[in-house]
Amino acid sequence: MDGGMEKKMGKPTGFMEYERKVSVSEDPRSRVSHFREFKEHLTREEQQLQGARCMECGVPFCQAGMMICGMASGCPLHNLVPEWNDLVYTGNWREAYNRLKKTNSFPEFTSRVCPALCEAACTCGLNGDPVSTKENEYAIIENAYEKGYADPKPPKVRTGKRVAVVGSGPSGLAAADQLNKRGHLVTVFERSDRIGGLLMYGIPNMKLEKQIVDRKIKVMEAEGITFVTGVDVGKDLKADKLLHDFDRIVLACGASNPRDIKAPGRDAKGIYFAVDFLKANTKSLLDSNFEDHKYVDTKDKDVIIIGGGDTGNDCVGTSIRHGCKSVTQIEMMPKAPDERAENNPWPEWPKICKTDYGQEEAIALFGHDPRIYETTVKEFLKDEQGNLKAVKIVKLSWETDPATGRRNMKEVEGSEEILPADIVLIAAGFLGAQGYVAEAFGVELNERTNVKTLPGKYQTNVENIFVTGDMHRGQSLVVWAIREGREAARAVDESLMGYSNLVVQ
């Protein structure tokens, strides 16, 4: 309140005065020559005008994070979007950072890899272009690092309580960050050689350069968190040891079981899971700039990618950067419409066709979209040496069972086709926690093979052991993992202290 008048958010007429403007991407033919991020962002002054487009809409669905028709509408972190958009508009960058950090542990990650659920629910997007909230977020966090606002802030008081976090993906890091801020002594265990989980090895450099991950890890270390790499808890380090040394344990090991394709010829040489392909690529890049040759080289190869999601797109972009001869992305589902259908109204998540960076690059280089819809692999064909040489694909049709009302896939008779293939990458998603970790700690799994808890809770069936992230909810977005980590941290804090002052949302 100011002089009896309520503070208004943003510039009321900004969305009418300024057009949406976002960063410019490097030309696809040029950017495929490197593995760096490829966007040229707006100046601070230009970004402030974008903040002015945030209208005083009354009901900001952008920060709702509510489920509508089974899909999230707005930010799951309940980011205070109108507030920091207004602060961007007025040039109060420091306070914008403070408001952003109240709800988001890692805006340096979400501003790069999040699909921007906030923008999909933006009221401006109902009849026009949504506010460029994701890029406003990017500007806020990068300005904060530049000006020192994001420098380490160790807790002033320590509780003496010790917490182990197993896994250093976004959920584990979020839990560790929050628990450390509360004053607990936190140690994060990671089985890989670098901290970051899927942020490090699951997302290619083109979307998230690894110095961005390392930059945040150094801040967290300076704030008092201990990171231990190369330790596979449940194998190298026994669960009993952790239970003895720590007051609480948070399992954040992800959903690490890739879905397979059970078709004849699956044993052919040249078939890889996408996660293994992407990890080997990034590790070789970071270790030796590919000079060690410890990656799957797609140069001059015909590449088939099974799966139409983000991971499949990342495989497209990576294969092209290594100089593949051709790339084809196979998707079982029908192509989504280019615009919202009448039965998919705002503020529902828009179920429309998205052409991502990898597909853009394939179109630029090969002259056509790499995706084939309503198709599956029927057989992997191999030569006499057992090497993959082609795949047999078949078209699918969707039919409704009159008895149950359920839609089922059926092969279209006579639609088989042979595609040449030297390499196949399976990007069909993930299912559940890895069994050896659950078994080591004695935690129960549910019917989806995720660690079982009561609805909305993070305490497992084993005393003092909590779970978070994909290991808890199944494969999901980075932004959901961060929310899970923050909520799990609050649950752990309450169990240690009897109450919690940690902000979740």
- Which pLDDT score is estimated for 10? 63
How far, in Å, are 166, 170, 224, 234, 295 from residue 251 at the CA level?
A: 5, 12, 20, 11, 30
pLDDT of residue 166: 98
pLDDT band at 8 (very low <50, low <70, confident <90, very high): low
Checking if the pLDDT of 2 tops 90, the result is no
At 96 the pLDDT is 97
Backbone phi and psi for residue 24, each to the nearest 5 degrees, phi listed first: -100, 130
> Is residue 6 over pLDDT 70?
no
What pLDDT score does 5 carry? 38
Task: Please give the CATH number for the structural domain made up of 162-256+431-497.
Answer: 3.50.50.60
Where does CATH 3.50.50.60 sit in the chain? 162-256+431-497, 271-426
Q: Please tell me the predicted confidence (pLDDT) of residue 9.
A: 60
Token pair for 447:
């019917």
What are the tens digits of pLDDT across the range 184-198?
999 999 999 999 999
403 against 334, higher pLDDT: 334
pLDDT tens digits, 87-106:
999 999 999 999 999 999 99
pLDDT exceeds cutoff 60 at 386: yes
Annotate 219-271 with DSSP letters as a single string.
HHHHTT-EEEES--BTTTB-HHHHHHH-SEEEE------BPP---TTTT-BTE
Q: 3 falls in which pLDDT band (50, 70, 90)?
A: very low
Position 403 scores a pLDDT of: 83
CATH 1.10.1060.10-classified regions of the chain: 14-147
Q: What is the pTM of this model?
A: 0.95
CB-based burial label for 357 (10 Å; 0-12, 13-18, 19+): buried
DSSP assignment of 268-314, as one string?
-BTEEEHHHHHHHHHHHHHHHTTTT--S---TT-EEEEE--SHHHHH
Residue 7 has pLDDT above 60, yes or no: no
* pLDDT for residue 182 is more than 60: yes
- Given a cut of 80, is residue 122 above it in pLDDT? yes
Residue 465 has pLDDT above 70, yes or no: yes
CB-based contacts of 310, cutoff 8 Å, min separation 6? 356
How many CA atoms does the CB half-sphere of 115 hold within 13 Å?
19
CB 434 within 8 A of CB 451: no
Q: Are 485 and 170 in contact (CB under 8 A)?
A: yes
Cα of 412 vs its chain's centroid, Å: 35
CATH 3.40.50.720 assigned to domain 271-426? The reply is: no
Mean pLDDT of the chain, nearest integer: 95
Q: What is 14-147's CATH topology?
A: Fumarate Reductase Iron-sulfur Protein; Chain B, domain 2 (1.10.1060)
Q: What is the pLDDT of residues 344-353, one digit of tens each?
A: 999 999 999 9
Query: Do 200 and 402 form a contact (C-beta atoms < 8 A)?
Result: no
- List pLDDT tens digits, range 133-167: 999 999 999 999 999 999 999 999 999 999 999 99
Average pLDDT of span 394-412: 89
User: Residue 230 has what pLDDT?
Assistant: 98
Q: Read off the pLDDT of each residue in 479-492 and give the average, rounded to a whole number.
A: 98
The token pair at 32 is 């495929």
Measured distance CA(392)–CA(405) in Å, rounded? 30
Q: At what angle do helices 133-147 and 93-103 cross, to 10 degrees?
A: 110
Q: What percent of the chain has pLDDT over 70?
A: 98
Q: How confident is the model at residue 402 (pLDDT cuts 50, 70, 90)?
A: confident
Query: What pLDDT, on the 0 to 100 scale, is given for residue 494?
Result: 98
Residue 298: predicted pLDDT:
98
CA 347 to chain centre: 22
